[in-house]
Amino acid sequence: MVELSHVTVSYGEKHALNDISLKVNDGEFTFISGDNGAGKSTLIKLLIGDVKADKIDGVDTVVKVNGHDLTTINQRGIPELRRTIGFIFQDFKLIDSMNVFDNVAFVLRSIDASTRYIKKRVPQVIGLMGLQSKVKQYPSELSGGEQQRVAIARALVTNPQLIIADEPTASLDQRAKIETLKLLKEINDKGTTVMVISHEHELIQRFGGRLVNLRSGVITHDIHI
Amino acid sequence: MRLSSVGYLFRQGVRNIWHNRIMSVASFCILTVSLLLIGFTVLFSANVNMILSSVEDKNEVIIYIKDNTSNEDIVVLGDKLRGTANVSEVNFYSKEQAFADIKKNMTDAEEIFSYLGDESPLPDAYRIRIADIDNMSATLMAINGYENIEKVKAPYDFVNVLTGLNSVITIVSAVILAALIVVSFVIISNTTRASVDMRKREITIMRFVGATKTFIKIPFFIEGLVMGILAGAAAYVLTWLGYDSLISILSSETTLFAAMGVSGFIPFSRLALYTLAGYVAVGAVISSIGTVFSTRKYVKV
Protein backbone atom coordinates (compact mmCIF):
# COMPACT_ATOMS: atom_id res chain seq x y z
CA MET A 1 0.00 0.00 0.00
CA VAL A 2 1.08 3.55 -0.77
CA GLU A 3 -0.02 6.38 1.48
CA LEU A 4 1.06 9.96 0.86
CA SER A 5 -0.30 12.92 2.76
CA HIS A 6 0.74 16.57 2.39
CA VAL A 7 3.94 15.66 0.61
CA THR A 8 6.18 18.36 -0.80
CA VAL A 9 9.51 17.62 -2.45
CA SER A 10 11.69 20.53 -3.45
CA TYR A 11 14.90 20.90 -5.44
CA GLY A 12 16.20 24.24 -4.23
CA GLU A 13 13.39 26.74 -4.63
CA LYS A 14 11.40 24.56 -7.03
CA HIS A 15 8.63 22.30 -5.74
CA ALA A 16 8.72 19.10 -7.83
CA LEU A 17 5.80 17.80 -5.77
CA ASN A 18 3.65 20.35 -4.00
CA ASP A 19 1.52 19.23 -1.06
CA ILE A 20 0.19 16.06 -2.71
CA SER A 21 -1.89 13.39 -1.01
CA LEU A 22 -2.50 9.97 -2.55
CA LYS A 23 -3.55 6.57 -1.30
CA VAL A 24 -3.10 3.43 -3.39
CA ASN A 25 -4.61 0.39 -1.72
CA ASP A 26 -3.24 -3.13 -1.90
CA GLY A 27 -4.26 -4.86 -5.15
CA GLU A 28 -5.10 -1.61 -6.99
CA PHE A 29 -4.09 -0.85 -10.58
CA THR A 30 -3.24 2.82 -11.00
CA PHE A 31 -2.05 4.88 -13.92
CA ILE A 32 0.00 7.96 -13.09
CA SER A 33 0.09 10.39 -15.96
CA GLY A 34 1.35 13.88 -16.60
CA ASP A 35 3.51 15.88 -18.99
CA ASN A 36 7.26 16.30 -18.73
CA GLY A 37 8.14 18.11 -15.51
CA ALA A 38 4.79 17.21 -13.92
CA GLY A 39 6.54 15.41 -11.05
CA LYS A 40 6.18 11.75 -12.14
CA SER A 41 9.91 10.94 -11.79
CA THR A 42 10.09 12.67 -8.43
CA LEU A 43 7.09 10.64 -7.28
CA ILE A 44 8.92 7.42 -8.26
CA LYS A 45 12.08 8.58 -6.47
CA LEU A 46 10.01 9.37 -3.40
CA LEU A 47 8.39 5.93 -3.38
CA ILE A 48 11.73 4.08 -3.61
CA GLY A 49 13.40 6.29 -0.99
CA ASP A 50 15.69 8.10 -3.41
CA VAL A 51 14.43 11.53 -2.33
CA LYS A 52 12.87 12.63 0.94
CA ALA A 53 9.77 14.72 1.50
CA ASP A 54 10.40 18.23 2.81
CA LYS A 55 9.95 18.71 6.52
CA ILE A 56 7.59 21.63 6.93
CA ASP A 57 6.70 23.04 10.34
CA GLY A 58 3.08 22.53 11.23
CA VAL A 59 2.47 20.06 8.37
CA ASP A 60 1.91 16.41 9.23
CA THR A 61 3.59 14.74 6.26
CA VAL A 62 2.95 11.02 5.72
CA VAL A 63 4.97 8.86 3.29
CA LYS A 64 4.28 5.16 3.72
CA VAL A 65 5.09 2.42 1.21
CA ASN A 66 4.40 -1.25 1.92
CA GLY A 67 4.49 -0.63 5.66
CA HIS A 68 7.72 1.38 5.62
CA ASP A 69 7.54 4.92 6.98
CA LEU A 70 9.74 6.89 4.60
CA THR A 71 9.79 10.02 6.76
CA THR A 72 11.80 8.20 9.40
CA ILE A 73 13.51 5.47 7.36
CA ASN A 74 17.31 5.24 7.67
CA GLN A 75 19.83 4.26 5.00
CA ARG A 76 19.80 0.63 6.13
CA GLY A 77 16.04 0.42 5.79
CA ILE A 78 16.02 1.53 2.16
CA PRO A 79 17.20 -1.81 0.66
CA GLU A 80 14.49 -3.54 2.74
CA LEU A 81 11.86 -1.16 1.32
CA ARG A 82 13.08 -1.66 -2.25
CA ARG A 83 12.87 -5.44 -1.92
CA THR A 84 9.10 -5.02 -1.60
CA ILE A 85 8.93 -3.11 -4.91
CA GLY A 86 9.40 -4.47 -8.42
CA PHE A 87 10.60 -1.84 -10.84
CA ILE A 88 10.18 -1.82 -14.61
CA PHE A 89 12.38 0.69 -16.42
CA GLN A 90 11.34 2.64 -19.48
CA ASP A 91 14.36 1.41 -21.47
CA PHE A 92 14.15 -2.14 -20.00
CA LYS A 93 17.74 -1.89 -18.68
CA LEU A 94 18.53 -5.48 -19.57
CA ILE A 95 22.19 -6.44 -19.29
CA ASP A 96 23.47 -7.16 -22.79
CA SER A 97 26.15 -9.61 -21.68
CA MET A 98 23.64 -11.82 -19.81
CA ASN A 99 21.09 -14.21 -21.26
CA VAL A 100 17.42 -14.14 -20.24
CA PHE A 101 17.92 -16.48 -17.28
CA ASP A 102 20.87 -14.51 -15.93
CA ASN A 103 19.13 -11.18 -16.40
CA VAL A 104 16.26 -12.37 -14.21
CA ALA A 105 18.52 -14.22 -11.78
CA PHE A 106 20.69 -11.11 -11.42
CA VAL A 107 18.03 -9.49 -9.23
CA LEU A 108 17.95 -12.43 -6.82
CA ARG A 109 21.74 -12.67 -6.76
CA SER A 110 21.87 -8.96 -5.89
CA ILE A 111 19.78 -9.54 -2.79
CA ASP A 112 21.77 -12.53 -1.58
CA ALA A 113 19.19 -15.20 -2.47
CA SER A 114 20.32 -18.82 -2.33
CA THR A 115 21.38 -20.61 -5.49
CA ARG A 116 18.72 -23.26 -4.86
CA TYR A 117 15.98 -20.61 -4.69
CA ILE A 118 17.30 -18.87 -7.82
CA LYS A 119 17.23 -22.14 -9.75
CA LYS A 120 13.65 -22.77 -8.63
CA ARG A 121 12.18 -19.27 -8.86
CA VAL A 122 13.69 -17.90 -12.10
CA PRO A 123 12.25 -20.61 -14.42
CA GLN A 124 8.83 -20.11 -12.76
CA VAL A 125 8.76 -16.40 -13.58
CA ILE A 126 10.22 -16.89 -17.04
CA GLY A 127 7.46 -19.46 -17.63
CA LEU A 128 4.79 -17.00 -16.45
CA MET A 129 6.03 -14.54 -19.06
CA GLY A 130 6.00 -17.24 -21.77
CA LEU A 131 9.72 -16.99 -22.34
CA GLN A 132 10.71 -20.64 -21.70
CA SER A 133 12.11 -21.04 -25.19
CA LYS A 134 14.19 -17.87 -24.90
CA VAL A 135 16.01 -18.68 -21.66
CA LYS A 136 19.45 -18.86 -23.23
CA GLN A 137 18.99 -15.96 -25.63
CA TYR A 138 20.61 -12.57 -25.17
CA PRO A 139 18.68 -9.27 -25.20
CA SER A 140 19.98 -8.39 -28.67
CA GLU A 141 18.32 -11.57 -29.99
CA LEU A 142 14.87 -10.62 -28.62
CA SER A 143 12.11 -8.38 -29.97
CA GLY A 144 11.12 -5.23 -28.07
CA GLY A 145 8.05 -6.97 -26.62
CA GLU A 146 10.13 -9.95 -25.50
CA GLN A 147 12.66 -7.66 -23.90
CA GLN A 148 9.88 -5.95 -22.01
CA ARG A 149 8.61 -9.34 -20.80
CA VAL A 150 12.09 -10.14 -19.49
CA ALA A 151 12.03 -6.79 -17.69
CA ILE A 152 8.64 -7.66 -16.18
CA ALA A 153 9.92 -11.11 -15.16
CA ARG A 154 12.83 -9.39 -13.46
CA ALA A 155 10.44 -7.11 -11.55
CA LEU A 156 8.29 -10.06 -10.52
CA VAL A 157 11.00 -12.45 -9.44
CA THR A 158 11.24 -11.08 -5.90
CA ASN A 159 7.46 -11.48 -5.32
CA PRO A 160 7.02 -7.74 -4.73
CA GLN A 161 3.97 -6.21 -3.04
CA LEU A 162 4.06 -3.27 -5.45
CA ILE A 163 5.18 -3.00 -9.07
CA ILE A 164 6.12 0.41 -10.43
CA ALA A 165 6.39 0.52 -14.21
CA ASP A 166 8.00 3.68 -15.56
CA GLU A 167 6.63 4.31 -19.07
CA PRO A 168 6.72 0.57 -19.83
CA THR A 169 5.18 0.92 -23.27
CA ALA A 170 7.11 3.96 -24.50
CA SER A 171 9.51 2.12 -26.78
CA LEU A 172 7.16 -0.63 -28.00
CA ASP A 173 4.99 -1.11 -31.06
CA GLN A 174 1.21 -1.07 -30.63
CA ARG A 175 0.85 -4.86 -30.31
CA ALA A 176 3.61 -5.10 -27.71
CA LYS A 177 2.13 -2.14 -25.80
CA ILE A 178 -1.18 -3.96 -25.44
CA GLU A 179 0.54 -7.24 -24.60
CA THR A 180 2.61 -5.53 -21.88
CA LEU A 181 -0.38 -3.87 -20.25
CA LYS A 182 -2.31 -7.15 -20.39
CA LEU A 183 0.53 -8.85 -18.57
CA LEU A 184 0.58 -6.14 -15.92
CA LYS A 185 -3.18 -6.50 -15.51
CA GLU A 186 -2.79 -10.27 -15.08
CA ILE A 187 -0.15 -9.68 -12.41
CA ASN A 188 -2.49 -7.22 -10.71
CA ASP A 189 -5.34 -9.73 -10.84
CA LYS A 190 -3.18 -12.09 -8.77
CA GLY A 191 -3.04 -9.46 -6.00
CA THR A 192 0.04 -7.36 -6.70
CA THR A 193 -0.43 -3.60 -6.56
CA VAL A 194 0.60 -2.01 -9.87
CA MET A 195 1.42 1.63 -10.61
CA VAL A 196 2.02 2.44 -14.26
CA ILE A 197 3.57 5.77 -15.19
CA SER A 198 2.34 6.64 -18.65
CA HIS A 199 1.20 9.56 -20.73
CA GLU A 200 -0.34 7.41 -23.45
CA HIS A 201 -3.94 8.48 -22.93
CA GLU A 202 -5.33 6.23 -25.65
CA LEU A 203 -3.94 3.14 -23.93
CA ILE A 204 -5.09 4.32 -20.51
CA GLN A 205 -8.62 4.83 -21.88
CA ARG A 206 -8.57 1.38 -23.44
CA PHE A 207 -7.52 -0.45 -20.26
CA GLY A 208 -9.33 1.74 -17.76
CA GLY A 209 -8.84 1.77 -14.02
CA ARG A 210 -7.68 4.53 -11.73
CA LEU A 211 -5.92 7.51 -13.26
CA VAL A 212 -3.96 10.03 -11.25
CA ASN A 213 -2.83 13.02 -13.24
CA LEU A 214 -0.02 15.31 -12.17
CA ARG A 215 0.75 18.80 -13.39
CA SER A 216 3.52 21.02 -12.03
CA GLY A 217 3.83 18.86 -8.93
CA VAL A 218 0.14 18.91 -8.09
CA ILE A 219 -2.51 16.18 -8.51
CA THR A 220 -5.07 17.63 -10.89
CA HIS A 221 -7.26 14.53 -11.33
CA ASP A 222 -7.74 11.29 -9.40
CA ILE A 223 -10.49 9.47 -11.27
CA HIS A 224 -11.70 6.00 -12.28
CA ILE A 225 -12.19 5.50 -16.00
CA MET B 1 26.10 -13.24 3.46
CA ARG B 2 25.77 -16.61 1.76
CA LEU B 3 28.84 -18.52 0.62
CA SER B 4 27.37 -18.70 -2.89
CA SER B 5 27.09 -14.89 -2.90
CA VAL B 6 30.73 -14.55 -1.84
CA GLY B 7 31.71 -16.71 -4.83
CA TYR B 8 29.43 -14.71 -7.10
CA LEU B 9 30.84 -11.36 -5.95
CA PHE B 10 34.40 -12.68 -6.31
CA ARG B 11 33.67 -13.71 -9.92
CA GLN B 12 32.18 -10.25 -10.55
CA GLY B 13 35.37 -8.62 -9.26
CA VAL B 14 37.58 -10.78 -11.47
CA ARG B 15 35.26 -10.12 -14.40
CA ASN B 16 35.71 -6.37 -13.83
CA ILE B 17 39.47 -6.80 -14.19
CA TRP B 18 39.10 -8.65 -17.48
CA HIS B 19 36.49 -6.31 -18.98
CA ASN B 20 38.53 -3.32 -17.96
CA ARG B 21 41.87 -4.79 -18.89
CA ILE B 22 43.71 -1.73 -20.24
CA MET B 23 43.22 0.26 -17.05
CA SER B 24 43.79 -2.89 -15.02
CA VAL B 25 47.17 -3.44 -16.67
CA ALA B 26 48.09 0.19 -15.94
CA SER B 27 47.16 -0.25 -12.27
CA PHE B 28 48.99 -3.54 -12.10
CA CYS B 29 52.20 -2.07 -13.58
CA ILE B 30 52.31 0.99 -11.37
CA LEU B 31 51.57 -1.10 -8.29
CA THR B 32 54.29 -3.59 -9.22
CA VAL B 33 56.85 -0.80 -9.68
CA SER B 34 55.88 0.75 -6.33
CA LEU B 35 56.21 -2.62 -4.60
CA LEU B 36 59.57 -3.30 -6.25
CA LEU B 37 60.88 0.00 -4.99
CA ILE B 38 59.68 -0.76 -1.47
CA GLY B 39 61.11 -4.28 -1.69
CA PHE B 40 64.54 -3.36 -2.94
CA THR B 41 64.87 -0.55 -0.40
CA VAL B 42 63.98 -2.94 2.41
CA LEU B 43 66.34 -5.65 1.09
CA PHE B 44 69.17 -3.12 0.70
CA SER B 45 68.63 -1.91 4.27
CA ALA B 46 68.52 -5.48 5.55
CA ASN B 47 71.88 -6.21 3.93
CA VAL B 48 73.40 -2.95 5.16
CA ASN B 49 72.24 -3.72 8.70
CA MET B 50 73.72 -7.20 8.50
CA ILE B 51 77.05 -5.81 7.26
CA LEU B 52 77.03 -3.13 9.97
CA SER B 53 76.39 -5.65 12.70
CA SER B 54 79.08 -8.01 11.39
CA VAL B 55 81.56 -5.14 11.30
CA GLU B 56 80.50 -4.11 14.79
CA ASP B 57 80.89 -7.69 15.98
CA LYS B 58 84.47 -7.70 14.73
CA ASN B 59 84.99 -4.38 16.41
CA GLU B 60 88.60 -4.21 15.27
CA VAL B 61 90.85 -1.20 14.68
CA ILE B 62 94.21 -1.56 12.96
CA ILE B 63 97.08 0.63 14.07
CA TYR B 64 99.76 0.72 11.35
CA ILE B 65 103.29 1.27 12.65
CA LYS B 66 105.77 3.54 10.87
CA ASP B 67 108.56 1.85 8.91
CA ASN B 68 111.93 1.76 10.64
CA THR B 69 110.39 1.73 14.08
CA SER B 70 112.63 -0.29 16.37
CA ASN B 71 111.40 -3.44 18.03
CA GLU B 72 111.72 -1.76 21.44
CA ASP B 73 109.52 1.13 20.33
CA ILE B 74 107.01 -1.33 18.90
CA VAL B 75 106.84 -3.04 22.30
CA VAL B 76 106.47 0.34 24.03
CA LEU B 77 103.62 1.24 21.70
CA GLY B 78 101.98 -2.11 22.47
CA ASP B 79 102.20 -1.43 26.20
CA LYS B 80 100.77 2.05 25.73
CA LEU B 81 97.88 0.63 23.77
CA ARG B 82 97.21 -1.96 26.46
CA GLY B 83 97.15 0.81 29.03
CA THR B 84 94.75 2.95 27.05
CA ALA B 85 91.28 3.29 28.46
CA ASN B 86 88.50 1.56 26.48
CA VAL B 87 90.97 -0.80 24.71
CA SER B 88 90.05 -4.36 25.58
CA GLU B 89 92.49 -6.38 23.48
CA VAL B 90 95.81 -5.71 21.73
CA ASN B 91 97.45 -8.12 19.25
CA PHE B 92 100.59 -7.58 17.23
CA TYR B 93 100.17 -8.28 13.52
CA SER B 94 103.55 -8.55 11.84
CA LYS B 95 104.20 -7.38 8.29
CA GLU B 96 105.18 -10.96 7.35
CA GLN B 97 101.89 -12.32 8.66
CA ALA B 98 99.93 -9.59 6.83
CA PHE B 99 101.76 -10.41 3.57
CA ALA B 100 101.10 -14.14 3.97
CA ASP B 101 97.41 -13.48 4.64
CA ILE B 102 96.96 -11.24 1.64
CA LYS B 103 98.68 -13.81 -0.61
CA LYS B 104 96.32 -16.45 0.74
CA ASN B 105 93.23 -14.30 0.04
CA MET B 106 94.27 -13.13 -3.43
CA THR B 107 95.19 -16.39 -5.13
CA ASP B 108 94.52 -14.95 -8.58
CA ALA B 109 97.25 -12.32 -8.13
CA GLU B 110 100.19 -14.67 -7.79
CA GLU B 111 102.06 -13.07 -10.70
CA ILE B 112 101.97 -9.64 -9.07
CA PHE B 113 103.25 -11.10 -5.80
CA SER B 114 106.09 -12.85 -7.63
CA TYR B 115 107.44 -9.42 -8.69
CA LEU B 116 107.38 -8.26 -5.09
CA GLY B 117 109.66 -11.09 -3.91
CA ASP B 118 109.55 -12.46 -0.37
CA GLU B 119 110.00 -9.14 1.36
CA SER B 120 106.69 -7.83 2.74
CA PRO B 121 105.81 -4.35 1.47
CA LEU B 122 103.23 -3.99 4.23
CA PRO B 123 103.79 -2.29 7.60
CA ASP B 124 103.73 -3.93 11.03
CA ALA B 125 100.52 -3.29 12.88
CA TYR B 126 98.59 -3.73 16.11
CA ARG B 127 95.04 -5.00 15.96
CA ILE B 128 93.06 -3.73 18.88
CA ARG B 129 89.48 -4.13 20.09
CA ILE B 130 87.44 -1.32 21.54
CA ALA B 131 85.37 -2.08 24.65
CA ASP B 132 82.70 0.60 24.20
CA ILE B 133 82.00 1.51 20.58
CA ASP B 134 80.13 4.66 21.56
CA ASN B 135 83.35 6.12 22.97
CA MET B 136 85.46 4.99 20.06
CA SER B 137 86.15 8.45 18.64
CA ALA B 138 87.72 9.67 21.89
CA THR B 139 89.79 6.49 22.17
CA LEU B 140 91.08 6.76 18.61
CA MET B 141 91.89 10.43 19.12
CA ALA B 142 94.07 9.52 22.10
CA ILE B 143 95.81 6.73 20.17
CA ASN B 144 96.48 9.04 17.23
CA GLY B 145 98.68 11.12 19.55
CA TYR B 146 101.06 8.21 20.24
CA GLU B 147 104.49 8.07 18.58
CA ASN B 148 105.46 5.78 15.67
CA ILE B 149 101.92 5.45 14.34
CA GLU B 150 101.63 5.67 10.55
CA LYS B 151 97.85 5.40 10.32
CA VAL B 152 94.83 4.26 12.31
CA LYS B 153 92.34 2.31 10.24
CA ALA B 154 88.92 1.88 11.74
CA PRO B 155 86.36 -0.07 9.68
CA TYR B 156 83.89 2.59 10.78
CA ASP B 157 84.92 4.76 7.83
CA PHE B 158 83.31 2.14 5.64
CA VAL B 159 80.45 1.79 8.09
CA ASN B 160 79.86 5.53 7.97
CA VAL B 161 79.79 5.48 4.16
CA LEU B 162 77.39 2.55 4.20
CA THR B 163 75.14 4.16 6.81
CA GLY B 164 75.11 7.41 4.86
CA LEU B 165 74.33 5.59 1.64
CA ASN B 166 71.55 3.69 3.36
CA SER B 167 70.02 6.93 4.63
CA VAL B 168 70.22 8.58 1.21
CA ILE B 169 68.69 5.57 -0.53
CA THR B 170 65.93 5.37 2.10
CA ILE B 171 65.09 9.08 1.75
CA VAL B 172 65.20 9.06 -2.07
CA SER B 173 63.13 5.87 -2.17
CA ALA B 174 60.61 7.33 0.29
CA VAL B 175 60.15 10.41 -1.92
CA ILE B 176 59.83 8.36 -5.14
CA LEU B 177 57.57 5.93 -3.32
CA ALA B 178 55.29 8.69 -2.04
CA ALA B 179 54.96 9.95 -5.62
CA LEU B 180 54.34 6.42 -6.92
CA ILE B 181 51.70 5.78 -4.28
CA VAL B 182 49.90 8.99 -5.28
CA VAL B 183 50.11 7.92 -8.94
CA SER B 184 48.90 4.43 -7.95
CA PHE B 185 45.88 5.90 -6.16
CA VAL B 186 45.06 8.09 -9.18
CA ILE B 187 45.33 5.16 -11.60
CA ILE B 188 43.41 2.81 -9.29
CA SER B 189 40.77 5.51 -8.89
CA ASN B 190 40.46 5.84 -12.69
CA THR B 191 40.33 2.07 -13.06
CA THR B 192 37.53 1.88 -10.51
CA ARG B 193 35.74 4.75 -12.22
CA ALA B 194 35.96 2.92 -15.56
CA SER B 195 34.63 -0.26 -13.88
CA VAL B 196 31.79 1.70 -12.32
CA ASP B 197 30.93 3.24 -15.71
CA MET B 198 31.07 -0.17 -17.31
CA ARG B 199 28.68 -1.58 -14.69
CA LYS B 200 26.47 1.51 -14.45
CA ARG B 201 23.37 -0.37 -15.65
CA GLU B 202 23.98 -3.24 -13.22
CA ILE B 203 24.51 -0.82 -10.35
CA THR B 204 21.25 0.99 -11.17
CA ILE B 205 19.33 -2.30 -11.22
CA MET B 206 20.98 -3.42 -7.98
CA ARG B 207 20.03 -0.16 -6.27
CA PHE B 208 16.42 -0.42 -7.40
CA VAL B 209 15.96 -4.03 -6.32
CA GLY B 210 17.32 -3.45 -2.83
CA ALA B 211 20.93 -4.59 -2.93
CA THR B 212 22.85 -3.23 0.05
CA LYS B 213 25.68 -0.71 -0.34
CA THR B 214 28.18 -3.34 0.72
CA PHE B 215 26.88 -5.86 -1.80
CA ILE B 216 27.19 -3.33 -4.62
CA LYS B 217 30.70 -2.24 -3.63
CA ILE B 218 32.26 -5.61 -2.84
CA PRO B 219 33.11 -6.55 -6.47
CA PHE B 220 35.12 -3.32 -6.82
CA PHE B 221 36.92 -4.05 -3.57
CA ILE B 222 37.68 -7.58 -4.81
CA GLU B 223 38.91 -6.13 -8.10
CA GLY B 224 41.38 -3.96 -6.16
CA LEU B 225 42.34 -6.78 -3.83
CA VAL B 226 43.05 -9.24 -6.66
CA MET B 227 45.01 -6.58 -8.54
CA GLY B 228 47.11 -5.87 -5.43
CA ILE B 229 47.79 -9.56 -4.84
CA LEU B 230 48.76 -10.11 -8.49
CA ALA B 231 51.06 -7.08 -8.41
CA GLY B 232 52.57 -8.41 -5.16
CA ALA B 233 53.19 -11.81 -6.75
CA ALA B 234 54.75 -10.23 -9.85
CA ALA B 235 56.97 -8.01 -7.72
CA TYR B 236 58.03 -11.08 -5.75
CA VAL B 237 59.08 -13.00 -8.87
CA LEU B 238 60.96 -9.98 -10.26
CA THR B 239 62.69 -9.42 -6.92
CA TRP B 240 63.65 -13.07 -6.69
CA LEU B 241 65.25 -13.01 -10.15
CA GLY B 242 66.80 -9.55 -9.73
CA TYR B 243 68.11 -10.09 -6.21
CA ASP B 244 69.61 -13.49 -6.96
CA SER B 245 71.38 -12.14 -10.07
CA LEU B 246 72.69 -9.13 -8.16
CA ILE B 247 73.93 -11.25 -5.27
CA SER B 248 75.69 -13.69 -7.61
CA ILE B 249 77.47 -10.76 -9.35
CA LEU B 250 78.46 -9.14 -6.05
CA SER B 251 79.50 -12.46 -4.49
CA SER B 252 82.03 -13.01 -7.30
CA GLU B 253 83.88 -9.95 -5.95
CA THR B 254 84.82 -11.72 -2.72
CA THR B 255 88.21 -10.05 -2.34
CA LEU B 256 86.85 -6.57 -2.69
CA PHE B 257 84.11 -7.13 -0.15
CA ALA B 258 86.40 -9.10 2.18
CA ALA B 259 88.75 -6.13 2.19
CA MET B 260 85.83 -3.97 3.28
CA GLY B 261 84.94 -6.40 6.04
CA VAL B 262 81.85 -7.74 4.27
CA SER B 263 81.59 -11.46 4.78
CA GLY B 264 78.53 -12.03 2.56
CA PHE B 265 74.96 -11.06 1.72
CA ILE B 266 71.62 -12.34 2.90
CA PRO B 267 70.53 -15.19 0.60
CA PHE B 268 67.09 -14.69 -0.96
CA SER B 269 65.88 -18.06 0.34
CA ARG B 270 66.12 -16.64 3.87
CA LEU B 271 63.94 -13.67 2.93
CA ALA B 272 61.60 -15.32 0.42
CA LEU B 273 58.63 -15.92 2.68
CA TYR B 274 58.78 -12.48 4.33
CA THR B 275 59.19 -10.84 0.92
CA LEU B 276 56.20 -12.65 -0.56
CA ALA B 277 54.02 -11.96 2.48
CA GLY B 278 55.13 -8.32 2.57
CA TYR B 279 54.55 -7.73 -1.13
CA VAL B 280 51.13 -9.37 -1.19
CA ALA B 281 50.01 -7.60 1.99
CA VAL B 282 51.26 -4.15 0.94
CA GLY B 283 49.93 -4.60 -2.62
CA ALA B 284 46.54 -5.69 -1.35
CA VAL B 285 46.35 -2.86 1.20
CA ILE B 286 47.36 -0.06 -1.23
CA SER B 287 45.03 -1.33 -3.93
CA SER B 288 42.08 -1.99 -1.63
CA ILE B 289 42.35 1.40 0.06
CA GLY B 290 42.49 3.07 -3.37
CA THR B 291 39.43 1.15 -4.50
CA VAL B 292 37.44 1.79 -1.33
CA PHE B 293 38.04 5.56 -1.63
CA SER B 294 37.09 5.55 -5.31
CA THR B 295 33.90 3.53 -4.85
CA ARG B 296 32.91 5.89 -2.09
CA LYS B 297 33.31 8.70 -4.60
CA TYR B 298 31.87 7.15 -7.74
CA VAL B 299 29.28 4.59 -6.61
CA LYS B 300 26.20 6.45 -5.47
CA VAL B 301 23.90 4.02 -3.68
Q: Choose among B267, B270, B221, B185: nearest CA to B16.
A: B221
Residue A120 near chain B (CB below 8 Å)? no
- Residue A1 DSSP symbol: -
Q: What is the pLDDT of residues B87-119, one digit of tens each?
A: 989 999 998 888 888 877 777 777 777 777 778
Q: Greater confidence, B219 or B164?
A: B219
Q: What percent of chain A has pLDDT above 70?
A: 100
Nearest to A93 among B201, B213, B215 (CB): B201
Cβ-Cβ contacts under 8 Å between A and B: the total is: 52
Could you give the 3-state DSSP secondary structure of residue A75? coil
C-alpha span between B81 and B73 (Å, rounded): 12
In this structure, the dihedral spanned by the alpha carbons of residues A51, A54, A60 and A66, taken in order and rounded to 10 degrees, is: 0
- For residue A165, the model assigns a pLDDT of 95
Judge whether residue B263 has pLDDT over 70. no
C-alpha span between B246 and B47 (Å, rounded): 12
ipTM value for the complex: 0.88
> How much is the average pLDDT of A63-91?
93
Interface residue of A51, A98, A110, A164 to substitute, partner B, most B CBs within 10 Å: A110
Judge whether residue B258 has pLDDT over 70. no
> How much is the average pLDDT of A207-214?
91
Concatenated DSSP letters for B250-298? Answer: HHT-HHHHHHTT------HHHHHHHHHHHHHHHHHHHHHHHHHHHHHHH
Among chain A residues, CA nearest to B215: A110
- Cβ of B211 within 8 Å of Cβ of A79? The answer is yes
- Residue B108 DSSP symbol: G
* Rounded to 5°, angle at Cα A67 from B216 and A83: 25
- Cβ of B207 within 8 Å of Cβ of A82? The answer is yes
Q: Which domains, and CATH codes, for chain B?
A: 3-55+159-298 (no CATH), 67-147 (3.30.70.3040)
Residue ranges covered by each domain of chain A? 2-224
Residue A74 near chain B (CB below 8 Å)? no
> How much is the average pLDDT of A168-176?
86
C-alpha span between A157 and A155 (Å, rounded): 6
Could you give the 3-state DSSP secondary structure of residue B4? helix
- For residue B299, the model assigns a pLDDT of 75
C-alpha span between B199 and B87 (Å, rounded): 74
The answer to whether A211 and A201 are in contact (CB under 8 A) is no
Mean pLDDT of chain A: 93
The answer to whether B124 and B93 are in contact (CB under 8 A) is yes
The answer to whether B290 and B188 are in contact (CB under 8 A) is yes
CATH 3.40.50.300 fits A2-224, yes or no: yes
Could you give the 3-state DSSP secondary structure of residue A19? strand
- Cβ of A109 within 8 Å of Cβ of B5? The answer is yes
- Cβ of A111 within 8 Å of Cβ of B210? The answer is yes
C-alpha span between A204 and A188 (Å, rounded): 15
Q: Greater confidence, B58 or A199?
A: A199
CB count in 10 Å sphere of residue A194? 25
- Cβ of A83 within 8 Å of Cβ of B205? The answer is no
- For residue B234, the model assigns a pLDDT of 96
